[in-house]
Amino acid sequence: MAKRRLSMVDEMEFPNKTKQFLDLVGVTNNHQIAEQDLTEQSLPITQIHLSPHQPRRYFSTQAMESLVTSIREHGILQPLLVRPLESGNYELIAGERRYRAAQTLGIEKIPVIIRELNDQDAFQISLLENLQREDLNPIEETEAILQLLSMRLECSQKEVISLLNHIANLQKQKTEITDNVVRSQCEMLDHIFTLIGRLTPDSFRSHRLPLLNLPKDVLDSLRRGELEYTKARVLAQIKDEEQRRELLVKTIEENLSVRDIKSCIKVIRDPDSSEPSLLHNRMKQAYQRIKQTKVWEDPKKAKALEKLLGQIEALLE
């Protein structure tokens, strides 16, 4: 039998990561979990239910389509992690995208690992698994990390932020951490961020935490995946809510670049100025994109492009 090819979205390291997650949250007393506790089984998908506290709220349509295609071709290569419920059914702890993809494909039975977990441990593992394996948007990722740190350090989220700032100040001053409690907290921070694998405590403090202070309208668009966080930070500079909302809508609908947004803000702040520089930049960018994408090779797009060119030529007469 030919060996199944592993896809980028469905690799087979889940059991090892599961062991690390279980060990981190203290479910096990050592780094080894008995093999029978992590034996893969098959369950009817109708017996598995989503947790009401899943940290994931928005899913990329493109990423989901990619996963559905992968599972249709190769099957589910990673088992999902579930815990038993008193009703006789099971609650999903990790693997929501695979679960939704299986539903889309009408798969009746899916591979799972069953583990007894209390509410707090289940939620922490769900957070960790999403942070490690799923492409959360920046806001969801920031909120999930902050919530996880709060749970692991047993303090409020405000205290976590204060701790991160305190450690950063000590490092900036090149002062050794002498307080045993702070040193222990610092080690926990390093361990969690190493397991997550994408950020450091300092980069999280400097580049992610400020996102939580964005205006609500910008924050909501960022949360829905409609906006890159680099654009969000520029839009947040506009204090007038109506002006910001209008530019936010324009940015999303026309996919304005950061440079375009800054040009628009300049016009907003100086009403006497005109927009020729913005139009000039947009014309240049549009021309470059037309060259790169070769839209004329698509008959429908070529027809629309020809009509637009006729209108531009008419303006030049």
**Quick one: average pLDDT of 244-264?**
91
94 CB burial (10 A radius; 0-12, 13-18, 19+): buried
Q: What is the residue extent of each domain of the chain?
A: 14-133, 214-273, 286-317
| Mean pLDDT, rounded, of the chain | 79
Q: What is the mean pLDDT of residues 231-241?
A: 91
Lowest mean pLDDT segment, chosen from 6-10, 62-66, 210-214, 267-271: 6-10
Task: Note the pLDDT of residue 84.
Answer: 92
Supply the pLDDT for residue 19.
Answer: 59
Quote the radius of gyration of the chain (alpha carbons, Å): 25
pLDDT beyond 80 at 56? no
Would you state the pLDDT for residue 33?
42
SS (H, E, C) the chain: CCCCCCECCECCCHHHHHHHHHHHCCCCCCCCCCHHHHCEEEEEHHHEECCCCCCCCCCCHHHHHHHHHHHHHHCCCCCEEEEECCCCCEEEEECHHHHHHHHHHCCCEEEEEECCCCHHHHHHHHHHHHHHHCCCCHHHHHHHHHHHHHHHHCCCHHHHHHHHHHHHHHHHCCCCCCCHHHHHHHHHHHHHHHHHCCCCHHHHHHHHHHHHHCCHHHHHHHHCCCCCHHHHHHHCCCCCHHHHHHHHHHHHHHCCCHHHHHHHHHHHHCCCCCCHHHHHHHHHHHHHHHHHHCHHHCHHHHHHHHHHHHHHHHHHC
Predicted pLDDT of residue 3: 34
Lowest mean pLDDT among 75-89, 115-129, 270-284: 270-284
Q: Flag the least confident range among 78-82, 118-122, 159-163, 186-190.
A: 118-122
Lowest mean pLDDT among 181-190, 198-207, 299-308: 299-308
Q: What is the pLDDT of residue 1?
A: 34
φ, ψ of residue 204 to 5 degrees: the values are -65, -45
Q: What is the pLDDT of residue 31?
A: 38
Contacts of 129 (CB under 8 A, 6+ apart): 17, 18, 21, 81, 93, 94, 95
Q: What is the pLDDT of residue 18?
A: 54
d(CA 63, CA 218): 23
- Evaluate the CA torsion angle 228, 232, 234, 238 in order and state its sign: positive
Between CA 57 and CA 9 the distance in angstroms is: 19
Which range, of 98-112, 122-136, 246-260, 293-307, averages the lowest pLDDT? 122-136
Point out which residues pair with 113 in neighbouring strands: 40, 81
| Terminal CA-CA length for the chain | 69
pLDDT number for residue 246? 92
Residue 12 confidence class, pLDDT cut points 50, 70, 90: very low
What pLDDT shows up at residue 54?
65
Q: Is the pLDDT of residue 223 over 90?
A: no
Residue 169 amino acid letter: N
Rounded Cα–Cα distance for residues 150 and 162 (Å): 12
What number of other Cβ atoms are within 10 A of residue 288's Cβ? 10
**Range among 251-260, 269-278, 283-292 with highest mean pLDDT value:** 251-260
- Model pLDDT, residue 2: 35
Cα distances (angstroms) measured from residue 223 to each of 60, 125, 141, 161, 216: 11, 22, 10, 21, 10
Please give the CATH number for the structural domain made up of 14-133.
Answer: 3.90.1530.30
Res. 245: pLDDT tops 70: yes
Q: Write down the pTM of the prediction.
A: 0.61
More confident residue, 141 or 38: 141
pLDDT-derived band of residue 248, with 50, 70 and 90 as boundaries?
A: very high
User: What is the arithmetic mean of pLDDT over 251-279?
Assistant: 78
For the chain, percent of residues with pLDDT exceeding 90: 23
pLDDT of residue 27: 53
275 close to 247: Cβ distance less than 8 angstroms: no
Question: pLDDT at position 298, please?
Answer: 79
Q: In this predicted structure, what is the pLDDT of residue 13? A: 41
